[in-house]
């Protein structure tokens, strides 16, 4: 049986995934200018990836006996492309830190399925961070 701490962290991860799913999708529709046009589809693609993360984590949480949250963390869209990308970079860095913590806790609890799931998601979050860092370099 999973610890309360692990269940709580998984729910925090879901809230974060719900946040960035909405945040990135709104950035996809609110972009402006030539540079925004160049990255609008990146926002949409990553938003869909984040939505899939929320679903996978929620399924695991339910299996472990938890109940997934429906409340996202605070959404911060940004006023311009640079603010959007800076916020997204910060959010991805936070996710990476949180997922490493969950992976370590799952390992401590011998929950290898959760550990493997979060390692896969961690790799994708690192790709998202790399994307946002690269886009920021061009501004």
Number of H helices, E strands in the chain: 4, 0
The two structure tokens encoding residue 114: 């959760």
Query: Does 50 appear as a known binding residue?
Result: yes
Give the other-Cβ count within 10 Å of 131's Cβ: 19
Joined together, the tokens standing for residue 136 give 């920021």
- d(C-alpha 8, C-alpha 33), whole Å: 41
- Indicate the helix (H) or strand (E) that contains 73: none
- Tell me: is residue 53 an annotated ligand-binding position: yes
Q: Phi first, then psi: what are they for 7, rounded to 5°?
A: -60, -45
125 is in an annotated binding site: yes
Nearest to 16 by CA among 48, 41, 42, 53: 53
- The set of residues, in sequence order, having a beta carbon less than 8 Å from that of 110 and lying 6+ positions away, is none
Binding-site members are 17, 50-51, 53, 92, 125, 128
Binding-site members for heme b are 51
Binding-site members for Fe cation are 17, 50, 53, 92, 125, 128
């Amino acid at each position: 049986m999973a610890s309360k701490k692990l269940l709580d962290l998984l729910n925090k991860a879901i809230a974060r995934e719900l946040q960035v799913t909405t945040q990135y999708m709104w950035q996809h529709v609110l972009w402006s200018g030539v540079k925004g046009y160049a990255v609008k589809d990146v926002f949409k693609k990553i938003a869909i990836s984040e939505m899939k993360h929320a679903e996978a984590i929620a399924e695991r949480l339910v299996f472990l006996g938890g109940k997934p949250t429906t409340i996202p963390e605070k959404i911060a869209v940004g006023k311009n492309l640079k603010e959007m990308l800076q916020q997204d970079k910060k959010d991805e860095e936070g996710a990476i830190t949180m997922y490493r913590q969950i992976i370590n806790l799952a390992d401590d609890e011998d929950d290898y399925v959760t550990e493997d799931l979060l390692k896969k998601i961690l790799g994708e979050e690192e790709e998202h961070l790399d994307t946002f860092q690269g886009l920021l370099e061009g501004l």
